[in-house]
Amino acid sequence: VGLESRRAHNTWYRAAVVIVSFRNMPSFPKYIVFLLLSLATHCLSESKGGCGRNEPDFSQCVVDKMNGLRSTLKKGLPHLKIGSLDPMVVPMIRLKQGYGPVSLDLISTDQVFRGIINYEIKSAKISRWSLR
């Protein structure tokens, strides 16, 4: 992994942590949100129209850019060896919750999700100074 790739990875990880609060979200939606944010942030880092920290409305800029990336993410990113996100095929999902007499262990295989790319981010609160 080259230096630029590491920088991009660190940037999108921080952006995902800052933008989305994962605390009360089940694990599969966390995966989807993290994947979309990671890909979008990577695309933003490569494009000329990224959002600068000194921009007056940084949060709205990020929302606009991520909503604008839908067509790019739908086609996929061949240079990253990532295919189209619509439909998205997930080989296995496991949901395990609780222990003891009341618990749930659910395994679902070969799931196909359509319409993921129709996301719309309406707002975000991003502390631009925490993205160092």
One digit per residue, the tens of pLDDT, for the chain of length 132 reads 343 444 444 444 444 443 444 444 455 666 666 666 666 666 655 555 667 777 788 888 888 888 887 877 777 778 777 777 788 888 898 888 888 888 898 999 998 888 888 888 888 887 766 665
CA distance 49 to 84: 23
Which sequence spans correspond to the domains of the chain?
3-127
pTM: 0.50
| Torsion sign across C-alpha atoms 54, 35, 82, 84 | negative
Report which of 35, 36, 107, 92 is spatially closest to residue 69, judged by C-alpha positions: 36
Alpha-carbon radius of gyration of the chain: 17
Residue 109 pairs in a beta bridge with 92
